[in-house]
Amino acid sequence: MGRIVVISTGGTIASRWQGSGFAAAAGGREVMATAPVPEGVTVEVVDLFSVNSPRLTTAHQLTLLRAVHGALGDPGVDGVVVTHGTDTLEESAFLVDLHHDDPRPVVFTGAQLPLDTEDGDGPRNLHDALLTAARTRGLGVLVAFDGKLHAARGVVKTQTVAADAFADPSGPRIGAIGFGKVSVLRHPQRPAPLPLPAGLDVRGGLPRVDMVMHHADGDPLLLNAAVDAGAQGIVLVATGAGNATPETVEAVAAARSRGVLVALTTRVHSGPVTEMYTHGGAVDLVAAGAVPTGTLRAGQARIAVLSALLAAPEPYERERVLRHALALPAAENAEAASPTAEAAALVRA
């Protein structure tokens, strides 16, 4: 059926008891030894790193991105499986998907129960990911978890500890895995992949991208602090369909006038960001230069901003790349998209 490269990065699937709690401790071969391998599949293991996924950095994620592309550089490889911690799996999977230009699949999986746990979910999830990597083509990057198959774009962790950990709250899943079969229910819509980031030292010099959440009594303090701390990108996690306050609108316009890329998402579980309300709502935030992220939630919106920053040096070009990554139409013209145009006018007002 196929030759599959398994890239191990740690997470609960590789975790053991450390005296006061669980932490990633096992290597990829130990993790692989727990799982039944589908008939006809041969496995090669790459131990990339072993960390709890909340500790992941952009440097880790770029290392993973390059490792995936390196594995697929071998024409004899039929697919890639990534074992990953569930806390930030949705971010890493989306980063790889944004840059994935190959019909061969990349399948992320993990576990909610630690390694060696009786009746743990890791072995089944890893088996299902191997089966998916061997039997699917042309679906982009996928997440195989608890017998379900999800597109990387839009998937989020929806359960803190339950086995059925992932879903796209705004759309249906890709398929199902069971009884030795992978049933594909739909094909995801994906924009053209971005090229790999080039000329960057993953040990330093990477852009800072922060997230700021709006709430009752929310003010621009933290958004302004992020800009002052050197953030090149900010994700505003707004209320409702993408709403905040007039003071936040002014802060967004000021950030855009300084070349900071701002994306607008919502803290609501599902549904799109929509330009409905003024007086600080999405109508005004978008006019101030924030880019609405559709149904992408905060973690993946941040990855889209990060990819845009890595791809382009100029503010207008960064917005163009961000809109492409979000599958949004291009701005009507450079003047409308420039952070020095309407945003600067709002600051002056």
Distance (Å, whole) CA 77 – CA 134 = 10
Catalytic residue, chosen from 12, 88, 132, 136, is 12
Q: Which stretches of the chain are assigned E, i.e. beta strand?
A: 2-10, 15-17, 22-24, 41-51, 79-83, 106-109, 141-145, 148-151, 156-157, 166-167, 175-178, 181-184, 209-213, 233-238, 261-266, 291-292
Catalytic residue, chosen from 9, 86, 245, 293, is 86
Active site residue 12: yes
DSSP annotation string for 140-172: -EEEEETTEEEESTT-EE--SSSS--EE-TTS-
Rounded to 10 degrees, the C-alpha dihedral 14/17/23/24 comes to -30
Beta strand 181-184 pairing with 175-178? antiparallel
Task: Classify residue 18 as exposed, middle or buried by CB count within 10 Å of its CB (0-12, 13-18, 19+).
Answer: exposed
Distance (Å, whole) CA 49 – CA 288 = 41
Contact 157, 87 (CB under 8 A): yes
Any residues with CB less than 8 A from the CB of 233 and at least 6 apart, and which?
207, 208, 209, 210, 260, 261, 262, 263, 302, 305, 306, 308, 309
Active site residues: 12, 86
